[in-house]
């Protein structure tokens, strides 16, 4: 199939067109695009002024047979319809030219729902990532930049390295700028030239060679800087906040009619980004957390009624705590933000600790930093403090829990405890990425730059059921991914620790029903119900 699908539902407002006579799927008659705004013509080919009209950002949704839905990503030709194309230089690259079917068919899409029944609709799909036969940039035309924003994460340097090396080696690009210090670096800091030589061994270091920051997102100043520097590919590595920022940068770029591809690479240590299978650095963080859990276990084992308490990252999502617990098998209780708990009374945490100490004479507790915040607030004066990006700053659940456990056992002189609190929070994210994360980061970087070269823009890249895809920003930013405590994975954890679920049976039944209803609408496999109001103590 030719690249007609690239234009389906595009913001250019054209009717769906096929450049191919092939009617393999005869989709022409079946596909329909929604919310297509009127075409806005660029004045001089590359740029159009804001006075010529505001482009309405719309979702590019394409529907087909049997409930097939493609949630497509924008393309430069949506608002610059006459851009020339060039053959992909990869076809002359000695390493890649031997690959059979190296180029991705333009109509390949990746399914979001992988478990189906004979009567299921085909459901949501995303455009498959990868190199295209035709590209929208000539090698010497590209002036790329890379920025890293938000918290640190193992693998940031690997993604930077692989974007630089990929652009050089695969597309012959020679100009890649590093923006220092996050978004504000666009207008308040220097830039550095990135070459394969300067980034050669940065993947062996933790952190980001570009620096990062929270806050400081000024869309107008950022896009002014992009325009002034003649940048035409912007690679933005960061979490949900960063992708929100990237989305508004894309909107402004489009409004100004610039030939600039805006590409997001999702980064989060908490693994809380929707749609994608897993975020880079997560495996490394879980592995690093094992060291803290092992230490807690050794400490707990060595003393009578020893308790090892480990606090791990996880602001709103407890994936690190859950996977670190499952991997370790030394943990007796794992507390995460998604699963509310209570301390006192029957079925409460303190009763469970007492029981486990009587059985084993030691125990290990893992707590995610966002767990139990409602209990702490009830206990202490609430502090409504936020960081520069607007994220709520939490009270230290580890210290609070240590205090509460100690207070409880002081009242039981026949059961003296030895509690050791370990807080490895920043250690799990400041390390270099492990081998498998390094490979993952390489694929992410490659998918990102193939997309930009092919003219796609306003997208985040990531694996969906194992296949890399281009995902529209809104799907990444509309909600956070959470541990679903009515899913099998949390059940595996409960069965491995044998801890109480702290939830009443009725609450679990109710939340299951709501989740099922969500999933039946085809709105995603991981609908999760907020059960924070219904723990067993109520």
Ligand X SMILES: O=P(O)(O)OC[C@H]1O[C@](O)(COP(=O)(O)O)[C@@H](O)[C@@H]1O
Q: Binding site membership for Mg(2+): which residues?
A: 240
Q: Which of 173, 209, 234, 269 lies at the binding interface for ligand X (CB under 6 A)?
A: 269
Stretch that binds ligand ADP, among 36-44, 147-155, 226-234, 311-319 (CB under 6 A): 147-155
Task: Single out the residue of 74, 150, 306, 318 in contact with ligand X (rule: CB under 6 A).
Answer: 150
What length does the chain have? Answer: 538
Pick the catalytic residue from 270, 272, 283, 515. Answer: 270
| Minimum distance, C-beta of residue 268 to ligand X, in the bound complex (Å) | 4
- Cα–Cα distance between 476 and 483 in angstroms, integer? 16
Q: How far is it, in rounded angstroms, from Cα 344 to Cα 203?
A: 47
Neighbour count for residue 202 (Cβ, 10 Å):
19
What value does the CA radius of gyration of the chain take, rounded to a whole number of Å? Answer: 25
Residues 6+ away with beta carbon under 8 Å from 517: none
Residue with tokens 């933000």: 337
By a kind-dependent CB cut-off of 5 to 8 A, residue 153 interacts, out of ligand X, Mg ion, ligand ADP, none, with: ligand X
**Crossing angle of helices 240-256/219-228, nearest 10°?**
60
248 binds ligand ADP (CB under 6 A): yes
Check if the beta carbon of residue 155 is closer than 8 Å to that of residue 433: yes
Going residue by residue from 269 to 288, which x/- string records binding to ligand ADP, judged by CB under 6 A? Answer: --------------------
Q: What is the DSSP string of 9-30?
A: T-TT-PPP--S----SS-GGGT
Residue nearest ligand X (C-beta atom): 151
Which region, judged by CB under 5 A, interacts with Mg ion, from 54-62, 227-235, 237-245, 522-530? 237-245
How far apart (Å, rounded) are the C-alpha atoms in residues 41 and 233?
Answer: 21
Least distance from C-beta 401 to ligand ADP, angstroms? 26
Q: Are 254 and 10 in contact (CB under 8 A)?
A: no
Interface residue with Mg ion, options 241, 451, 463, 472 (CB under 5 A): 241
Judged by CB under 6 A, does residue 239 bind ligand ADP?
yes
- Which range in 45-53, 81-89, 145-153, 215-223 contacts ligand X by CB under 6 A? 145-153
DSSP reduced 3-state for 257:
coil
Instruction: Name the binder of 269 from ligand X, Mg ion, ligand ADP, none, CB < 5-8 A by kind.
Output: ligand X
- CA 336, 339, 343, 348 dihedral sign is negative
Q: Taking CB under 6 A as the rule, does residue 268 contact ligand X?
A: yes
The answer to whether residue 157 forms part of the interface with ligand X (CB under 6 A) is: no
Give how many residues touch ligand X by CB under 6 A.
Answer: 13
Q: How far is the CB of 183 from ligand ADP (least distance, A)?
A: 4
Q: Is 270 a catalytic residue?
A: yes
Strand 191-193 vs strand 176-179: parallel, antiparallel, or unpaired? antiparallel
User: What does the DSSP assignment read for 114-139?
Assistant: ----TT---EEEEEEPS--SEESS-G
**Nearest partner of 309 among 323, 326, 321, 320, judged by Cα:** 321
Does residue 2 sit in helix, strand or coil?
coil
The vertex-73 CA angle with 68 and 75, nearest 5°, equals: 130
Q: Which does 149 bind (CB under 5 to 8 A by kind): ligand X, ligand ADP, Mg ion, none?
A: ligand ADP
Q: Which two tokens stand for residue 514?
A: 């709501």
The item of ligand ADP, Mg ion, ligand X, none sharing an interface with residue 270, based on CB under 5 to 8 Å by kind, is ligand X
CB of 254 closer than 8 Å to CB of 79: yes
Binding status of residue 313 toward ligand X by CB under 6 A: yes
- Binding region: 151, 214-215, 239-242, 268-270, 313-315, 369, 426-429
Q: Which residues of 14-36 are buried (b: 16+ CB within 10 A; e: fewer)?
A: bebebeeeeeeeebeeebebeeb
Other CB atoms closer than 10 Å to residue 147's CB: what's the count?
A: 31
- CA torsion 339-344-348-352 (nearest 10°) is 130
Nearer to ligand X, 356 or 429 (CB): 429
Site string for ligand X, 320-359 (x = CB under 6 A): ----------------------------------------
Q: Give SS3 for 187.
A: helix
Q: How far is the CB of 390 from ligand ADP (least distance, A)?
A: 6
Q: Which does 315 bind (CB under 5 to 8 A by kind): ligand ADP, Mg ion, ligand X, none?
A: ligand X
Q: Candidates 78-86, 173-181, 244-252, 320-328 — which segment interacts with ligand ADP by CB under 6 A? A: 244-252
242 binds ligand ADP (CB under 6 A): yes
Nearer to ligand X, 267 or 420 (CB): 267
248 is in the binding site of which of ligand ADP, ligand X, Mg ion, none (Cβ under 5 to 8 A by kind)? ligand ADP
Identify what 155 binds: Mg ion, ligand ADP, ligand X, none; CB under 5 to 8 Å per kind: none
Cα dihedral sign for 522, 16, 470, 388? negative
Q: Which one among 130, 166, 245, 455 touches ligand ADP, defined by CB under 6 A?
A: 245
Site for ligand ADP in 196-235 (CB under 6 A): 213-217
Residue whose structure tokens are 């455009």:
127
Q: Which does 369 bind (CB under 5 to 8 A by kind): ligand ADP, ligand X, Mg ion, none?
A: ligand X
181 touching Mg ion, by CB under 5 A: no
CB closer to ligand ADP, 242 vs 284: 242
Q: Does 387 bind ligand X (CB under 6 A)?
A: yes
Q: Specify burial of residue 262 (Cβ count, 10 A radius: 0-12, 13-18, 19+).
A: buried
- The DSSP output letter for 192 is E
With CB under 5 A as the contact rule, the residue among 71, 78, 107, 240 that binds Mg ion is: 240
Binding stretches for Mg ion (CB under 5 A):
239-241
Active-site amino acid positions: 270
Binding stretches for ligand ADP (CB under 6 A):
149-151, 182-183, 213-217, 238-242, 244-245, 248, 268, 389, 391
Binding stretches for ligand X (CB under 6 A):
150-151, 153, 239, 268-270, 313-315, 369, 387, 429
């Amino acid at each position: 199939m030719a690249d007609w699908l690239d234009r389906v539902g595009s913001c250019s407002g054209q009717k769906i067109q096929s450049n191919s006579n092939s009617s393999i799927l005869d989709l022409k008659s079946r596909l329909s695009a929604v919310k297509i705004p009127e075409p806005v013509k660029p004045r001089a080919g590359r740029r159009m002024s804001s006075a010529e009209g505001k482009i309405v950002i719309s979702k590019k949704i394409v529907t087909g047979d049997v409930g097939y839905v493609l949630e497509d990503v924008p393309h430069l030709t949506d608002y610059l319809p006459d851009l020339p194309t060039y053959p992909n230089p990869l076809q002359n690259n000695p390493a890649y030219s031997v690959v059979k079917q190296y180029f991705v068919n333009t109509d390949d899409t990746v399914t979001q729902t992988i478990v189906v029944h004979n009567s299921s609709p085909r459901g949501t799909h995303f455009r498959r990532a990868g190199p295209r036969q035709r590209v929208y940039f000539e090698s010497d035309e590209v002036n790329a930049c890379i920025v890293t924003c938000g918290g640190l994460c193992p693998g940031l340097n690997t993604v930077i390295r692989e974007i630089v090396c990929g652009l050089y080696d695969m597309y012959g690009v020679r100009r890649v700028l590093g923006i220092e210090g996050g978004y504000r670096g666009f207008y308040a800091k220097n830039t550095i030239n990135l070459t394969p030589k300067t980034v050669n061994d940065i993947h062996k270091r933790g952190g980001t060679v570009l620096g990062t920051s929270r806050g400081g997102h000024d869309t107008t100043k950022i896009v002014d800087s992009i325009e002034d520097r003649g940048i035409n590919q912007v690679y933005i590595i960061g979490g949900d906040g960063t992708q929100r920022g990237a989305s508004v940068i894309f909107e402004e770029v489009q409004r100004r009619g610039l030939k600039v591809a805006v590409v997001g690479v999702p980064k989060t240590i908490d693994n809380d980004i929707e749609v994608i299978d897993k975020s880079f650095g997560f495996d490394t963080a879980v592995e690093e957390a094992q060291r803290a859990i092992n230490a807690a276990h050794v400490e707990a084992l060595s003393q009578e009624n020893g308790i090892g308490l480990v606090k791990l990252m996880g602001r709103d999502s407890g994936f690190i705590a859950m996977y670190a617990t499952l991997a370790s098998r030394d943990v007796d209780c794992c507390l995460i933000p998604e699963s509310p708990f209570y301390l006192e009374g029957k079925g409460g945490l303190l009763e469970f600790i007492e029981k486990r100490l009587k059985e084993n004479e030691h125990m290990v507790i893992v707590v995610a930093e966002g767990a139990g915040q409602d209990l702490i607030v009830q206990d202490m004066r609430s502090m409504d403090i936020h960081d520069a990006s607007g994220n709520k700053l939490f009270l230290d659940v580890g210290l609070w829990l240590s205090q509460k456990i100690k207070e409880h056992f002081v009242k039981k002189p026949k059961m003296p405890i030895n509690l050791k609190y370990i807080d490895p929070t920043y250690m799990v994210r400041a390390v270099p990425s492990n081998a498998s994360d390094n490979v993952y980061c390489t694929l992410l970087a490659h998918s990102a730059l193939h997309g930009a070269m092919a003219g796609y823009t306003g997208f985040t890249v990531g694996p969906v059921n194992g296949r890399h895809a281009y995902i529209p920003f809104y799907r990444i930013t509309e909600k956070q991914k959470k541990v679903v405590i009515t899913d099998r994975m949390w059940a595996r954890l409960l069965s491995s620790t044998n801890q109480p679920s702290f939830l009443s049976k009725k609450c679990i039944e109710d939340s299951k029903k709501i989740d099922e209803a969500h999933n039946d609408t085809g709105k995603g496999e991981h609908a999760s119900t907020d059960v924070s109001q219904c723990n067993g103590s109520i």
